[in-house]
Amino acid sequence: MVTPTDPIQPHETHVDDDVQLLSETLEEVLAYSGDKADQKYVELKTRAEAALEDVKNRISQASDNYYYRAKQAVYLADDYVQENPWHGVGIGASVGLVVGLLLARR
């Protein structure tokens, strides 16, 4: 049974997919809506396009930052296991035991 506190929900979507869909929809709306001669429409469209571009850039930077930090963590873990192989074996065995116990309860 899945509860609201479970980290993985069956209906969970990827944020990148959601942002991409929102971006494409907003671009389509901006391309086909409004009276092209109306000055207020032109100003609103310009502001919306600028905001959309800003959000895309911030998401891209955040994604790059998270990727870099995750890669750093992997390298640190690899270095630790290389320097302390028996600690790595112990940690791996402990994690395997806990996962095995959790799976056996279901």
The pLDDT tens digits of the residues spanning 30-67 come to 776 666 667 777 777 787 778 878 888 888 888 888 89
Spatial distance between the Cα atoms of 53 and 37, rounded to a whole number of angstroms: 24
Q: What's the domain count of the chain?
A: 1
Tell me if 29 is assigned to some domain.
Answer: yes
Tell me if 31 is assigned to some domain.
Answer: yes
Domain span at 57: 20-67
* Highest mean pLDDT (candidates 40-44, 82-86, 88-92, 99-103): 99-103
Tell me if 32 is assigned to some domain.
Answer: yes
Tell me if 10 is assigned to some domain.
Answer: no
Tell me if 34 is assigned to some domain.
Answer: yes
Tell me if 105 is assigned to some domain.
Answer: no
Tell me if 49 is assigned to some domain.
Answer: yes
**How large a percentage of the chain has pLDDT more than 90?**
20
Tell me if 98 is assigned to some domain.
Answer: no
Spatial distance between the Cα atoms of 94 and 102, rounded to a whole number of angstroms: 12
SS3 content of the chain, % helix, strand, coil (to 5): 80, 0, 20
Residue 62 in tokens: 């955040």
Phi, psi (deg, nearest 5) at residue 84: -130, 75
